[in-house]
A and B are shown apart, each in its own frame.
Chain A
Amino acid sequence: MIKIENLWYRYSSEERWVLKNINLFLKPGEIGLIVGPNGSGKTTLAKAIAGILPEFYSGELRGKVIVNAVNVLDEPEEAFRYVGYVGEDPEVQLVTLTVKDEVMFGPSNLGLPLKEVVERANWALRVSGAENLEDRTIFELSGGEMQKVALASILALKPKVLILDEPTAFIEAPLAKKFYERLRDIAKKESITIMLIEHKLNHVINIADKIFVLKDGEIVFQKNVKKLTLSDIMNNPMPKLVGTLFGKVASKEGYEAKPLLRVVLNENSSNIVEIESLWYKYPRSKNYALRNINLKIPRETKMGLLGPNGSGKSTLIKIIAGIIKPQRGVIRVYGEFLKAKIGYVPQNPTLSFIQPTPYKEVYETAKRLKLANPEYEAWKSLKMLGLEEYAEKPVLHLSYGFRRRLSIASALVGKPKLLLLDEPTAYLDFDSKVELIEVLNTIAKEYKTTLIIASHDTWFISEICDLAAILHRGSVRFVGEIESILKLPEIESYGVENPFHGGVRS
């Protein structure tokens, strides 16, 4: 059970309240869904409930967060006994070197008998769909696999309240659906209260009991999901955001399937990237992450790399960017001049920031790339990504979603001929995704930029890309026009969701 009464919070470095008078109640076994745009205070709220806020951050905190009759703001050390928290970045939440050790780590800290530790670990791995990862090392896991293991490691603690901050950010859609169905079972069978922070609502809405819309630190809307009406959605302060709950509303806004075309790839067109017989194996890994990849990407096209977790999408993007070198095979990125005209947006956007504020970050990049009017270009890029009002804010104070936007703004400012994006929609809310689609389509058209996007968000890819490749277990299974790819009957068996033929609530 969670009961939040009049919760206010502001960081010591800021005047602005990050959380404003939050009141919320969830019964045992209930699932609460928190939605809201990037920077609305969702993660801060999650950290307050987990007892992390008073323990790790200085700031002014008022109100009560009652979990199992304990006010975790007064006794944060008690929160651990009842609250499990899985944060945004799974990589840093894994604190050992093997999956088995990771899942046993929490229960072992409780000093439980070894037999119970093992039983809990096995149960948690099964529930989170990570049984097949048991014998792996952490270094071999993809982003999505890490997320499953991070969840299992918390579930093994058998918490009464489970808080999940974007748990499916790197999980492919068919698995996300199964994952949420499992969560529903866990909540019901184990009487665990679950609080979910999520941007992709089409699956999660089917299992949630209550919805809370957070904006600028305030709950601006809350209701029982079963009682939601169309007028609730249309009158909501963020109709587009909540509109994603219903396929019908999304369709009204024009997000419908495109007409089908045949798979035609012009072999004679001039390519910007050519890959021949490429193989790649991560160090100390038994299996190849990429196997015999042959791919030609024509200039001025928009290519989406689709596939489930661990299929090799990010690895392929990194090889094209030159970050990792393949063991076998040939890769040609056309034109020497292009070397300075490649934009790369890494999965962890913070790794590309070298300036203290978003404006300086983009401005300095524009200057380095010797653009004619760097100041104008910097503002243009920031505006495109909706970052003007955050232009002078310290970059490390930005939420993950805004950092990703900034990383894209920096990559775009040089009007690159080739732009590589690795999971660009992770942690982005629906509105931001729509904006990003517009930005990328504009960039591709105006600057004649070739886009290569690795993502498991099929809808996002279908709204941008002309071509797509499905990667599965390190091999390219299909290449062709996106419409034809979406029509493939076996598409879902390769871990790729068809956003227009299922998955949306009718």
Chain B
Amino acid sequence: MILWMLDKIRVALTFSQENTPLSKAHVGFKFLSLILFFISITLVDNVYGIILISTYLVLVTLMSKNLRILYESSLAVIIPIALLGFFAWIFSPTGIFSYETLVYVLSLVVRIYLLAVSFLIIFSTTNPSQLACFLEKHGLPLVFSQSLILTWRLIPLVLKDVIESIMSIKLRRFPSTKALIPVTAVAIERANMVSEALYVKGLGFKEKRTIISSPGILSYGLVLTIHSLILLILVLILL
């Protein structure tokens, strides 16, 4: 099950280079909309509110023009969210079989699902170079923007290593937990090699780099931001 889950997370975090309104949307507004959505989701406390905010996920999916991304992202989060729901249910102070517990657990699970899946869809359809260029243009030091790109690049790589290492070790009848050793060793070596690669490619030798990516199409970004802003206002009214 761990291997299955790791593989699904790896797939969900893999960058998808599609030519869709979501991937073309202005990167700044895209993430602004995600922040507004996050605020809405933390404030919402009733069923109507949850139905309302779920329209954000519908919009994101429609703009991604790809139901498969929704499906893959859902698979990646299903086990952790199910576990969270289970523990929230059995440790509920209002009792296991009460109506309050049922509403509380369902509300928690749905909210986290909406947030996680929306985040994964936006994350996997955004080119981090685009975001890094946008942030650098607005004054973020390149050490931070580059860290962002590298994290984005290396997460699926590390997950792939974990899966390959577990399989290779299992064939020699060692327990899967032993995979932590080679994966850590490879990660440390990789970190060293990546820093060498960044060095030979001249990162940090000039304070100002050339901005190579445009931030994206403003109108698509505005659609997302306005939608999440309206949601936030409605949630505040409903409170």
Chain B residues 1-40 with CB under 8 Å of chain A are 10-11, 14-17
Provided the pairs A101-B213, A138-B153 are in contact, do residues A96 and B200 lie with their beta carbons within 8 angstroms? no
Please state if B17 and A396 are interface contacts (CB–CB under 8 Å): no
Smallest beta-carbon distance B209→chain A, Å: 5
A105 to B205, CA, bound (A): 13
Q: Mark A430-444, 1 if CB is under 8 A from B, else 0.
A: 000000000000000
Please state if A344 and B168 are interface contacts (CB–CB under 8 Å): yes
Please state if B201 and A111 are interface contacts (CB–CB under 8 Å): no
Say which size band chain B's interface belongs to.
Answer: 35 or more
User: Which residue of B168, B173, B181, B210 contacts A369 across the interface (Cβ within 8 Å)?
Assistant: B173
User: Which stretch of A346-354, A385-393, A480-488 is in the interface?
Assistant: A346-354
Please state if A354 and B181 are interface contacts (CB–CB under 8 Å): yes
CB of B138 within 8 A of chain A?
no
Provided the pairs A283-B11, A344-B168 are in contact, do residues A96 and B189 lie with their beta carbons within 8 angstroms? no
Smallest beta-carbon distance A101→chain B, Å: 4
Smallest beta-carbon distance B157→chain A, Å: 7
Please state if B10 and A283 are interface contacts (CB–CB under 8 Å): yes
Provided the pairs A56-B199, A283-B72, A344-B171 are in contact, do residues A98 and B127 lie with their beta carbons within 8 angstroms? yes
Please name all residues of chain A whose beta carbon is closer than 8 Å to the beta carbon of B141 when the two chains form the complex.
Answer: none
CB of B225 within 8 A of chain A?
no
User: Which residue of B174, B186, B213 contacts A368 across the interface (Cβ within 8 Å)?
Assistant: B174
CB of A91 within 8 A of chain B?
yes
Please state if A92 and B197 are interface contacts (CB–CB under 8 Å): yes
Please state if B205 and A109 are interface contacts (CB–CB under 8 Å): yes
User: Which stretch of B94-102, B104-112, B158-166, B216-224 is in the interface?
Assistant: B158-166
List the A residue with the shortest CB-CB distance to B183: A351
CB of A84 within 8 A of chain B?
yes
Q: Mark B182-212, 1 if CB is under 8 A from A, else 0.
A: 1101100110111111111111111011111
Provided the pairs A105-B201, A109-B202, A153-B201 are in contact, do residues A97 and B153 lie with their beta carbons within 8 angstroms? yes
Please state if A52 and B199 are interface contacts (CB–CB under 8 Å): yes
Please name all residues of chain A whose beta carbon is closer than 8 Å to the beta carbon of B199 when the two chains form the complex.
Answer: 52, 55-56, 80
Provided the pairs A97-B127, A108-B209, A114-B210 are in contact, do residues A352 and B182 lie with their beta carbons within 8 angstroms? yes
User: Which residue of A91, A93, A354 contacts B174 across the interface (Cβ within 8 Å)?
Assistant: A354
CB of A172 within 8 A of chain B?
no
Number of interface residues of A (CB under 8 A): 66
Please name all residues of chain A whose beta carbon is closer than 8 Å to the beta carbon of B171 when the two chains form the complex.
Answer: 321, 340, 342-344
Q: Mark A462-488, 1 if CB is under 8 A from B, else 0.
A: 000000000000000000000000000
CB of A372 within 8 A of chain B?
no
Smallest beta-carbon distance B152→chain A, Å: 6
A52 to B169, CA, bound (A): 33
CB of A194 within 8 A of chain B?
no
A454 to B88, CA, bound (A): 49
Please state if A97 and B15 are interface contacts (CB–CB under 8 Å): yes
Please name all residues of chain B whose beta carbon is closer than 8 Å to the beta carbon of A110 when the two chains form the complex.
Answer: 202, 205-206, 210
Smallest beta-carbon distance B61→chain A, Å: 16
List the B residue with the shortest CB-CB distance to A97: B15
Please name all residues of chain A whose beta carbon is closer than 8 Å to the beta carbon of B10 when the two chains form the complex.
Answer: 283
List the A residue with the shortest CB-CB distance to B3: A323
A111 to B15, CA, bound (A): 27
Q: Mark A92-107, 1 if CB is under 8 A from B, else 0.
A: 1111111001001111
Please name all residues of chain A whose beta carbon is closer than 8 Å to the beta carbon of B172 when the two chains form the complex.
Answer: 352, 365, 368-369, 410-411, 414
User: Which residue of A109, A114, A154, A283 contacts B203 across the interface (Cβ within 8 Å)?
Assistant: A109
Please name all residues of chain B whose beta carbon is closer than 8 Å to the beta carbon of A322 when the two chains form the complex.
Answer: 167
Please name all residues of chain B whose beta carbon is closer than 8 Å to the beta carbon of A318 when the two chains form the complex.
Answer: 164
Smallest beta-carbon distance B198→chain A, Å: 6
Provided the pairs A84-B200, A89-B193 are in contact, do residues A348 and B127 lie with their beta carbons within 8 angstroms? no
User: Which residue of A56, A114, A284 contacts B14 across the interface (Cβ within 8 Å)?
Assistant: A284
User: Which residue of B15, B179, B190, B210 contacts A92 across the interface (Cβ within 8 Å)?
Assistant: B190
The 8 closest A-B pairs by CB, nearest first: A283-B11, A109-B202, A108-B210, A284-B16, A93-B197, A352-B168, A92-B193, A111-B206
Other contacts beyond A346-B168, A351-B183, A352-B168: 5, CB < 8 A: A92-B190, A117-B212, A321-B167, A354-B169, A410-B172
Q: What residues of chain B have their CB less than 8 Å away from a CB belonging to chain A?
A: 10-11, 14-17, 72, 124, 127-129, 146, 149-150, 152-153, 156-157, 161, 163-165, 167-169, 171-174, 178-179, 181-183, 185-186, 189-190, 192-206, 208-213
27 contacts between A and B (CB under 8 A): A47-B196, A50-B200, A93-B194, A95-B149, A96-B149, A97-B128, A101-B212, A108-B209, A108-B211, A109-B201, A109-B204, A110-B206, A114-B210, A114-B211, A114-B212, A117-B212, A340-B173, A343-B171, A344-B168, A351-B168, A351-B182, A352-B165, A353-B181, A353-B185, A354-B182, A369-B173, A410-B172
